[in-house]
Amino acid sequence: MKLLFATNNSHKLSEVQQLLGGLYTLVTPADMGLTEDIPETQKTLEGNALQKASHIYGKLNVACFADDTGLEVDALNGAPGVHSARYSGSDKNLAKNVDKLLHELEGHTNRKACFRCVIALVDGEKEVLFEGRVDGEILLERSGTGGFGYDPVFRPDGYECSFAEMSAEEKNSISHRGKAIEKLVAYLREKPLSTL
C-alpha cells in the first residue's frame, strides 16, 4: 500500500520510510508530478504540518501526511523552533544552522534542548495531529557524521553520544520523529486509509 508524504526532503523521506517498515510505501508529491515548493508559513509546528498536508491534499485530492520538526533550546527561549530549517537563512544550509546555534550558545551553561515533531494527517475532512518529543542537550561541538540537521550537536538524555553517532535504528527507536510516527502507525492500523 502506498501513502503520500508531503515532503521534498530526501533525508526525512528515508528516515520515515524506515520507521514505517512494510506497512506503507511512501510516495512524495514529486512522484505524482507535483514539484512546487510546499508552503510552511505558520508560527507553530502544528500549523506548518497542517498547512503542508492540507496544501498537498488540496492539489492532489489524496490522503496524505506532513510533518514539521523543530529544535527548541531553553537558553534561546525556544529558538530556533519553527525556524530550525532556516535558522541561518532561507537557503536551509544545515552546516550554517549548526554554526549559528553553537555561536548563539557560547557562554551559556544551560544547554538543555528538545526536538519536537508534529505530524498532520489529512484525509478529506479529517485532520489528525500526532506529536513526538525527545529531551537532551546541545553539545559544545559536533560529534559524529550520521543523521542530518542538528544531529551532530544533540545528545539525548540518558545517552553518552549524539544522534549523529547512533545507528539509524537506535536513533529511530528514541527520536521525536520515531515517537510521532509510532502514533501515526497505531492510528493507521485502527483506521486504514484508502490509499493510492
The radius of gyration of the chain from alpha carbons, rounded to an integer in Å, stands at 17
Residue 34 has what pLDDT?
92
**Side-chain-facing half-sphere of 86: CA atoms under 13 Å:** 8
Tens digit of pLDDT for each residue in 32-59? Answer: 999 988 888 999 999 999 999 999 999 9
Q: Is 68 considered catalytic here?
A: yes
Residue 92 has what pLDDT?
84
11 band by pLDDT with thresholds 50, 70 and 90: confident
Residue 194 has what pLDDT?
60
Residue 159 has what pLDDT?
97
155, 161 contact by CB (below 8 A): yes
Q: How far is CA 93 from each of CA 24, 148, 154, rounded to the nearest angstrom? A: 30, 11, 17
Task: Enumerate domains of the chain plus CATH numbers.
Answer: 2-190 (3.90.950.10)
Tens digit of pLDDT for each residue in 157-196? Answer: 999 999 999 998 899 899 999 899 999 989 988 887 765 5
Query: Whole-number mean pLDDT of the chain?
Result: 92
For helices 176-190 and 10-20, the axis angle rounded to 10 degrees is 50
76 band by pLDDT with thresholds 50, 70 and 90: very high
Q: How far is CA 37 from each of CA 24, 57, 72, 78, 87, rounded to the nearest angstrom? A: 24, 14, 25, 26, 18
Tens digit of pLDDT for each residue in 102-117? Answer: 999 999 999 999 999 9
Q: Active-site residue among 31, 68, 151, 157? A: 68
